[in-house]
Amino acid sequence: MALSPHGFGPDTTTAAALASGALPIFDVQRVELQFSVAADFVAAQVANNVLILALSNGRILRIDLNRPEDIDDIDLPKKVSEVGVIRRMFLDPTASHLIVCTALGENYYLHSQSRTPRVLNRLRGVQIESVAWNPALPTASTREILLGAADGNVYEGYVETATEFYRKEEKYLKVVHKAPEGEAVTGLWVDALPGKGGEWRRVVMATGGRVYHLVGKVGRGHDGSGSIYTRLFEGETPVVYEGGRGLGVSALVVSPDPPDGGRWRDEVPPERSFAWLSGQGVFHGKLPVSPAGAELGSKVFGEAKMVPKGQIAAQEGPVGRRQAATAEAIEAIALTQWHIVCLVGGRIVAANQLTGEKVYDQVVLNQGQKALGIYVDVQKNTFWLFTPQEIFEIVLTEEDRDIWKIMLKLQQFDAALQYAHTPAQRDAVAVASGDHLINKGAFSDAAGVYGKSSKPFEDVALCFIDNNQPDALRKYLLTKLGTFKKTSVMQRMMIATWLIEVYMAKLNSLDDTIVTGAELSETLNPVQTKEQLGAVRSEFHEFINRHKGDLDRKTVYDVISSHGREEELLFYADAVNDYNYVLSYWVQRERWSEALKVLKRQTDAKVFYRYSSVLMTHAAAELVEILMRQGNLKPRSLIPALLEYDRNFKGPLLQNQAVRYLQYVVNQLASTDSAVHNTLVSIYASHPSKDESALLAYVESQGDEPSFDPDFALRLCIQHHRVLSCAHIYTSMGQYVQAVDLALAHNEVELASIIANRPMSNPQLRKKLWLAVARKVISQSNGIKTAIEFLKRCDLLKIEDLIPFFPDFVVIDDFKEEICAALEDYSRNIDSLRREMDDSSQTAANIKVDIAALEHRYAIVEHGEKCYACGLPLLSRQFFVFPCQHAFHSDCLGRRVLEQAGPAKAKRIRECQVQVSKGLVTGVRREEMVAELDELVASACILCSDYAIRRINEPFVKADEDLSEWAL
C-alpha cells in the first residue's frame, strides 16, 4: 500500500490559507492498494498501525502498515453462507485482540499471534454493537471487557487465547446491566481513575437516546474467575443525559492518545474528550478524571455542549448562501484532539470542539458512493475512512495552530500561552493577558505578564505610575530587565538604575510608615509593614547580587546617598568589591571596628597600604592581628605606618604593636628585607628606656651575617648610647679594636675582656686587645695584685708587657714574684731551644751520610729480563731500572710518560727530545738537557707511582685485545 498525491482540492475555507502559504489543518488522501481483492470491504478496523479489512467473501486481511507488503489472509472457520457476511469488527488499541461479528449472530475471536479465528460459543446469537476494552490494555488476553448488545444487555467477558482446539476462548460471560426499554448499547468506554489503587473505574455507555456515566469501585479480578463490574453496576446509580430519540445513527467516540507520545505519564491518564452522535447532533465534552465520585458525571454532562446536526451538515451553496442539508444525516464521527470529524453524505466535515465552527468541508466520495465509517488508530493518532472499494487517510497538519486564538477569545490565557508556538503568538497572548489583568485591577500580576510582552515600555510604565502602583512597576522592571540580552547594555543599565531609585523610594516609604506607626493600607498593619520591609530589603540584596554588572557605580552611589540609605549603600559597595569606598566611608566617620570588619574580608594589598597609617593610630592591636593573617603583603610598604605609630607611642616595648608586627615578619616569615630589619633596629634603639636587652637579643640573634645595615645600626646605637649592642655590632664586623675601645670608654671592662678573647685565630690581635684592657685595668686598679690577677685571664700577656703601664713610683716588691716566675720561664725556654738546636745538627749530619750513600746505590738486572712496557729483552737498548725493580726501555718509558703526564710536562719532554735528537744543543748544554730529560721521564715508575693511580679507571682488557685469554 502507498499514499497517492492529494486527490481532492481544498474547499473555499482553506483556499485562502493555501494562498498565504499555510497548509490546511485537514486533508484527505487516497491510499493506493498494492494488492487485488475479489470482493468488497464490508468492515474495517485500525489500531497500532495495523489495518484489519473484512471482505464480503468472509476473508479477513491483516496488514501491518509498517510492512504493507506483508498481508495475512485469514478465513473464517465456516462459509459465508452458513454464518453470514461479517457485520462488525472490534480491534483493541494494541491490535492484539479482534472480535468479528457476522450477520447471523456468530462471533469469533482472533489473537494477533494466531491465524485461526475461534468461535465465541457463549456469545452465539448476540448482536454485539460496542466493546469497551480493559484500560490496562493487556496483550496476552483481553482480561475483563464490556460488550454492548443490540438487545440492550451489557455483558462482561474475559477472552484469552486457547492453544488447544477443544478449549473455549471465553473464560466467562455475564450480563452486568440491562438498558431501559431494551435500547441497543451503541457505545461503551471504560477508563481507570488515578489515585484510587486501580479499583475505581468510569463507564460511559450510549444507547439510541441516552448517555450514561457511572463512577465507582470494581471488584478485584482473579484471572478471570469472576465478574468485577457487577459491583459497579449494582452499587452505583448512573448519571443520565437524555438526548431524545431521533433519526440517524447513535455512536459514542473518545479522543485518541495525545500525539506527543506515551499513553500515560506518571500514571496519570491523558485528558480525553467524548462525543455522542445522535439524531439531534453531536453532544461532546471533556472526560475529566476528578473528582472521582458520582458528581463526576454531572460535571461531565454539565460542561458538555451540543452541536446541532444542521450546523454541521449545512453546506455552502453555489452563490455563497448557507443551505440546510436536511436530506443528509451525519453517518459517522471521530474525535481528534481539538476537532470533531464527521462523515456527512460523501463529505468530510470538521468542526472545532471549542467553538463549534467548521474548519473543513470537503466532498470525498462520489455521488451515491457509501462509506463503511471513520476509524481512529487510538495509539498512533491516525484517522481513516473506508468505503467498500477504497481507503482514505485523513491527515492532520498542526491541528492546534489556532487553538491559542480561541483560548485568547475565551480569556483562558494560560491555555492560550501553552498552545502559542511562535514568539509573536506568545507576545500577543501576553499583551492581551496583561490588558485583561489591568482591567481587573490585578496590577502585580499584569506586571509579570507585561514584562514578557512587546507592549511599549513607556505605556506600561506610565500606566503603573498613573495608577500609583510602585510595587507593580518594580515587578515589571525586574521582569523586563530579564528579557534583555547581555549585549543590550544601555537598556539594561537604564532599567537597573531606575530600579535602584524604585527600591530606595519603597524602603523609605516603609521606614516612614514604621516610624510614624501609621498603617500602610487597610490590610497591612505596622507589624506586617516590618515584615514587608525585610522582604523588600532581601529582594534588593538579591537584585544587587544578580545585576551588579548592569549598574554604574557612581550613579548608584549618588542615587542611594540622595536617599540617605546607609545600609544599602554599603551593601552595594561590598557587593561590587569596592572596599576602598566602604573603608573610606567608615574611616571618615571614625568607626574603626566596622572598618576592621571590612578589612578582614579584603585581599587587595593596596587597600592595606592605603589605610594602615590611620588604622595603626587608632586600632593598632586589631590591625596587626589582621596583617599577620595576610600572606600577600609587602612589609616594606607598611613601614611608614609603623614608624608613624611608633613616633606617637609612649608605652613599653612589650606593648608596641609595630615591634610585634616586625618581630612576626622577622621570626615567622623569615624576612631578610634590610628595610624591615633596619626599622626594627631603629625602634629598639630609639626607645626612651635604658634597657637594651631587647635590642641586644635581636642583634645577637642575627649572627655574623645580619640582615640589617651594620653601619646604620652603629650610628643609631652610638647616638642613643646602646653600648652593648654597639660593641656586639663592632665584633660581628670584625672591628675588635673599636669594640674594645668603645667598651673601655664606657668603663665596660668585663665586656672589653670578653671581646678581646674572641679573635682566637689572631694571637697578635688578641694581645693588642688585651694590652688595651690591661692599661685600663691597671689605671683603674687600687692594688697591683688585683690588676695582675685579672690579667692572668689572658695567656698571652707577660710581666714585661705590663711593666710599662705601671706608674714610675711603683715598688718592685709588689710584683717580685711575677718577675721571678717570668725569669724562670725564660731560662726553661733557653734550655729547650738549645736541645732543639743540637737535634737539628744531628739530623743534618745524618742527611749528609744518606746523600753520600745514594751515589753508590745499584740494581742487578738478570739476563733475559724484559721491558715491562713492550715485553722485549731489556738489554737490547738503553733502559731505566726503578727501586721497585720495574725496568723499562728509555723510549718505552718516554711514550708511557707522555700519555699520562700533564700538558705542560708533556710539552717540555717533547721539546727536550727534539733538541737532543736533532743536535740542536751541544757540549755542556746538551748534557744539561739530557739530564733534564732523564729527570722528567724517570722521576717515577709508571706502574707504582701516581701514574698508576690515575689509571684506575682504565679497563684491564682493551677493546682491541683478545678476550679469550680472560675466559674462565
pLDDT digits (tens, 9 = 90+) for 281-334: 999 999 998 877 778 989 999 999 999 988 888 876 544 444 444 447 889 999
Asked if the model's pLDDT at residue 12 lies above 60, the reply is no
Is 237:281 a contact under the CB 8 Å cutoff?
no
Instruction: Evaluate the CA torsion angle 191, 194, 198, 200 in order and state its sign.
Output: negative
**Mean per-residue pLDDT, 922-933:** 84
Is 729:704 a contact under the CB 8 Å cutoff?
no
**Mean per-residue pLDDT, 518-528:** 59
Instruction: Evaluate the CA torsion angle 82, 88, 94, 97 in order and state its sign.
Output: negative
> What is the distance between the alpha carbons of residues 914 and 430, in angstroms, rounded to a whole number?
115
Instruction: Evaluate the CA torsion angle 483, 487, 492, 494 in order and state its sign.
Output: negative
Same domain, 63 and 183: yes
Residue 549: exposure state from Cβ atoms within 10 A (0-12, 13-18, ≥19): exposed
Per-residue pLDDT band for 805 (boundaries 50, 70, 90) equals low
Cross-strand pairs, 393? 29, 384
> What pLDDT, on a 0 to 100 scale, did the predictor assign at position 18?
42
Side chain identity, residue 678: N
Asked if the model's pLDDT at residue 52 lies above 90, the reply is yes
Is 353:369 a contact under the CB 8 Å cutoff?
no
- Of the listed ranges 74-88, 553-567, 583-597, the least confidently predicted one is 583-597
Cell of 957: 682488557
**Mean per-residue pLDDT, 218-246:** 83
Asked if the model's pLDDT at residue 662 lies above 80, the reply is yes
Side chain identity, residue 683: I
Cell of 28: 484527505
Q: Is residue 827 part of a domain?
A: no
Higher pLDDT, 42 or 414: 42
Same domain, 758 and 667: yes
Q: Is residue 201 part of a domain?
A: yes
Of 718, 733, 707, 712, the C-alpha closest to 636 is: 707
Asked if the model's pLDDT at residue 722 lies above 70, the reply is yes
Cis preceding-peptide flag for 138 (omega within 30 of 0): no
Q: Is residue 363 part of a domain?
A: no
Residue 389: exposure state from Cβ atoms within 10 A (0-12, 13-18, ≥19): exposed
> What pLDDT, on a 0 to 100 scale, did the predictor assign at position 17?
45
Asked if the model's pLDDT at residue 801 lies above 80, the reply is no
**Mean per-residue pLDDT, 791-798:** 59
Cross-strand pairs, 55? 41
**Mean per-residue pLDDT, 513-536:** 71
Asked if the model's pLDDT at residue 262 lies above 70, the reply is no
Cis preceding-peptide flag for 291 (omega within 30 of 0): yes
Residues whose CB is less than 8 angstroms from the CB of residue 919 and which lie 6 or more positions away in sequence, other chains included: 926
Is 250:207 a contact under the CB 8 Å cutoff?
yes
> What pLDDT, on a 0 to 100 scale, did the predictor assign at position 946?
79
Q: Is residue 802 part of a domain?
A: no
Q: Is residue 138 part of a domain?
A: yes
Split into its structural domains, the chain has a count of 4
Same domain, 292 and 230: yes
Same domain, 128 and 268: yes
**Mean per-residue pLDDT, 629-634:** 86
829-844 burial by CB neighbour count: b if 16+ within 10 A, else e? eeeeeeeeeeeeeeee
Query: Mean pLDDT over all residues of the chain?
Result: 82
> What pLDDT, on a 0 to 100 scale, did the predictor assign at position 344?
92
> What pLDDT, on a 0 to 100 scale, did the predictor assign at position 747?
65
Cell of 94: 494494541
Same domain, 161 and 290: yes
**Mean per-residue pLDDT, 251-265:** 75
**Mean per-residue pLDDT, 710-737:** 78
> What pLDDT, on a 0 to 100 scale, did the predictor assign at position 520?
47
Identify the domain containing residue 913 by its residue range: 874-957
Per-residue pLDDT band for 771 (boundaries 50, 70, 90) equals low
Of 702, 709, 711, the C-alpha closest to 735 is: 711
CA angle 876, 879, 881 (to 5 degrees): 130
**Mean per-residue pLDDT, 714-729:** 79
> What is the distance between the alpha carbons of residues 26 and 22, in angstroms, rounded to a whole number?
12
Side chain identity, residue 250: S
φ, ψ of residue 416 in degrees (nearest 5)? -65, -40
Is 653:659 a contact under the CB 8 Å cutoff?
yes
Edge-first strand order for the sheet with 128-132 is 128-132, 141-149, 153-160, 170-178
> What is the distance between the alpha carbons of residues 674 and 478, in angstroms, rounded to a whole number?
57
Is 229:176 a contact under the CB 8 Å cutoff?
yes
Cell of 283: 453532544
Same domain, 69 and 153: yes
Instruction: Evaluate the CA torsion angle 871, 874, 876, 878 in order and state its sign.
Output: positive
Q: Is residue 354 part of a domain?
A: no
> What pLDDT, on a 0 to 100 scale, did the predictor assign at position 101?
96
Predicted confidence (pLDDT) per residue in 332-386, tens digit: 999 999 999 999 988 999 999 998 889 999 999 988 889 999 999 999 999 999 9
- Of the listed ranges 304-318, 560-574, 789-803, the least confidently predicted one is 789-803
Residues in the chain: 968
Predicted confidence (pLDDT) per residue in 56-98, tens digit: 999 999 999 888 888 899 999 999 999 999 999 999 999 999 9
Is 310:289 a contact under the CB 8 Å cutoff?
no
N-to-C CA span, the chain: 95
Same domain, 376 and 496: no
At which of 570, 598, 631 does a domain end? 570
Percent of the chain with pLDDT over 70: 82
Residue 590: exposure state from Cβ atoms within 10 A (0-12, 13-18, ≥19): exposed
**Mean per-residue pLDDT, 39-49:** 93
What stretch of H or E contains 762? none
φ, ψ of residue 855 in degrees (nearest 5)? -70, -20
> What pLDDT, on a 0 to 100 scale, did the predictor assign at position 689?
82
3-state secondary structure of 580: helix
Of 50, 157, 143, 149, the C-alpha closest to 93 is: 50
> What is the distance between the alpha carbons of residues 767 and 736, in angstroms, rounded to a whole number?
12
Of 579, 647, 662, 571, the C-alpha closest to 613 is: 647
Residues whose CB is less than 8 angstroms from the CB of residue 532 and which lie 6 or more positions away in sequence, other chains included: 510, 520, 524
Same domain, 601 and 673: yes
What stretch of H or E contains 29? strand 26-32
Same domain, 637 and 760: yes
Q: Is residue 32 part of a domain?
A: no
Same domain, 673 and 628: yes
> What pLDDT, on a 0 to 100 scale, did the predictor assign at position 56?
92
Higher pLDDT, 759 or 485: 485
Is 162:142 a contact under the CB 8 Å cutoff?
no
Same domain, 725 and 753: yes
> What is the distance between the alpha carbons of residues 46 and 678, in angstroms, rounded to a whole number?
100
> What is the distance between the alpha carbons of residues 284 and 340, in angstroms, rounded to a whole number?
9
3-state secondary structure of 176: strand
> What is the distance between the alpha carbons of residues 79 and 226, in angstroms, rounded to a whole number?
34
What stretch of H or E contains 712? helix 710-719
Of 373, 421, 366, the C-alpha closest to 394 is: 373
Per-residue pLDDT band for 918 (boundaries 50, 70, 90) equals confident
Grid cell 637594651 in the structure block, residue: 692
Is 778:802 a contact under the CB 8 Å cutoff?
yes
Q: Is residue 433 part of a domain?
A: yes
Side chain identity, residue 254: V
Grid cell 457476511 in the structure block, residue: 85
Is 224:158 a contact under the CB 8 Å cutoff?
yes
> What pLDDT, on a 0 to 100 scale, did the predictor assign at position 804?
60
Is 566:522 a contact under the CB 8 Å cutoff?
no
Cell of 535: 522582604
Asked if the model's pLDDT at residue 543 lies above 80, the reply is yes
At which of 796, 831, 856 does a domain end? 796
CATH number at 253 reads 2.130.10.10
Asked if the model's pLDDT at residue 756 lies above 80, the reply is no
**Mean per-residue pLDDT, 825-848:** 81
Asked if the model's pLDDT at residue 789 lies above 70, the reply is no
> What is the distance between the alpha carbons of residues 841 and 852, in angstroms, rounded to a whole number?
17
**Mean per-residue pLDDT, 784-806:** 58
Asked if the model's pLDDT at residue 440 lies above 90, the reply is no
> What pLDDT, on a 0 to 100 scale, did the predictor assign at position 338?
92
At which of 400, 419, 451 does a domain end? 400
Same domain, 647 and 515: no
> What is the distance between the alpha carbons of residues 722 and 432, in angstroms, rounded to a whole number?
91
Give the Cβ contact number of residue 184 at 10 Å: 19
